Amino acid sequence: MASIIGLSIRTKLARSLPLRFSVTVTCMTGTHNDAETLTKQINDKERATAALTNKRLLSVINQCIGEWEG
């Protein structure tokens, strides 16, 4: 669940900010059992892109950030 939340935050920021900004989402130490690994996973561009090619996961993320396909 934490990875979906982090990926949703990263996606919303990437879609909302101009391209000149880079987006880094960090899970604070102590807020998750494996915060460091989660942070690396969320900010890995290749993994994030691969996750967003999954239609079901993309649908969940769009629902989380309030953007509907239609």
Q: What is the pLDDT of residues 45-60, one digit of tens each?
A: 999 899 989 999 999 9
Overall average pLDDT of the 24-48 stretch: 90
Domain annotation covers residue 26: yes
CA torsion through residues 53, 70, 42, 2, sign: negative
pTM: 0.83
At residue 41, does pLDDT exceed 60?
A: yes
Q: What are phi and psi of 68, to 5 degrees?
A: -100, 140
Domain annotation covers residue 52: yes
Overall average pLDDT of the 7-26 stretch: 94
pLDDT value at position 69?
Answer: 58
Total number of domains in the chain: 1
Domain annotation covers residue 35: yes
Domain annotation covers residue 70: no
Which two tokens mark 30? 């102590």
Which two tokens mark 57? 């996961």
pLDDT value at position 68?
Answer: 62
Domain annotation covers residue 38: yes
